[in-house]
């Protein structure tokens, strides 16, 4: 089984900057690749990094704010130009299909592959994808629009002494997209090996963070500490804060094993 890892394609919030693009990650687990959110320019970063889109079959969109899905039409039309024939599965709020279909009909009606939409309920915790090596569950979050994170579980088939087989969870990765601080997610992510949690603001901006239903670096670190996570990745930085080390300075006193999401970085899970 291949090594589990995440490639950061975008780690900024709504406003792109010289150093950050909107949210997008490529999760590789169980010999599969999963795209998690698809902010503007994600396909460009994938091309620069030499990521093979032919291995990508599943896309998970946390919510329908533009900085998490505006890159989809660019990616899907590019795949058409690359003569893709394999289906692409997209898991998202039901409204995404309504929004994206007219654009696909106008810009990519000659594509040779099928796009299959899987509507999900962001307010419900449930398994939305499962095969022999990986399962994906939703993590209901607290944001200004229906939003969920995703819990990736890598499983391994083990033979019992009686000759039967069972599946063991080997690694787990929790992606907690835009959200206000919420301890309701703790039972879902408890003991997770790696947690990505948005940290749009610093604690000095806590009032603004609460107003727009985002988290501070201290909020993210507190969630990681209370969940007993192994490692915390911060991301979704406000464009107002150019020095990302400030997020780390705020989080580490609460949760020591914290790192920053930086574009093009590959992080072992």
pLDDT in tens, 227-265: 999 999 999 999 999 999 999 999 999 999 999 999 999
Catalytic sites, residue numbers: 67
**What's the pLDDT score for residue 2?**
67
pLDDT truncated to tens, each residue of the chain (269 aa)? Answer: 468 999 999 999 988 888 899 999 999 998 899 999 999 999 999 999 999 898 999 999 999 999 999 999 999 999 999 999 999 999 999 999 999 999 999 999 999 999 999 999 999 999 999 998 999 999 999 999 999 999 999 988 777 878 777 777 889 999 999 999 999 999 999 999 999 999 999 999 999 999 999 999 999 999 999 999 999 999 999 999 999 999 999 999 999 999 999 999 999 99
Residue carrying the six token digits 């988290």 = 215
């Amino acid at each position: 089984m291949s090594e589990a890892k995440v490639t950061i394609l975008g780690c900024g919030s709504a406003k792109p900057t010289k150093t950050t693009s909107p949210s997008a990650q490529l999760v590789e687990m169980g010999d599969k690749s999963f795209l998690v959110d698809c902010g503007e320019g994600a396909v460009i970063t994938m091309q620069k990094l030499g990521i093979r889109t032919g291995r990508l079959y599943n896309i998970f969109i946390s919510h329908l704010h533009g900085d998490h899905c505006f890159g989809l039409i660019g990616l899907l039309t590019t795949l058409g130009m690359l003569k893709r024939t394999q289906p692409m599965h997209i898991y998202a709020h039901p409204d995404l299909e309504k929004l994206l279909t007219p654009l696909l009909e106008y810009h990519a009606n000659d594509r040779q592959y099928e796009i299959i939409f899987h509507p999900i309920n962001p307010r419900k915790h449930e398994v939305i994808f499962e095969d022999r090596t990986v399962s994906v569950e939703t993590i209901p979050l607290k944001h200004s629009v229906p939003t969920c994170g995703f819990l990736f579980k890598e499983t391994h088939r083990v033979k019992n002494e009686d000759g039967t087989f069972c599946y063991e969870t080997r690694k787990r990765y929790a992606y907690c997209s835009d959200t206000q601080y919420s301890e309701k997610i703790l039972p879902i992510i408890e003991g997770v090996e790696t947690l990505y949690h948005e940290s749009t603001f610093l604690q000095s901006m806590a009032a603004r963070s609460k107003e727009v239903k985002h988290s501070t670096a201290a909020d993210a670190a507190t969630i990681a500490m209370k969940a007993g996570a192994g490692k915390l990745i911060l991301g979704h930085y406000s464009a107002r804060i150019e020095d990302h080390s400030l997020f780390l300075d705020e989080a580490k006193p609460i949760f020591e094993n914290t790192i920053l999401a930086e574009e093009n970085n590959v992080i072992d899970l």
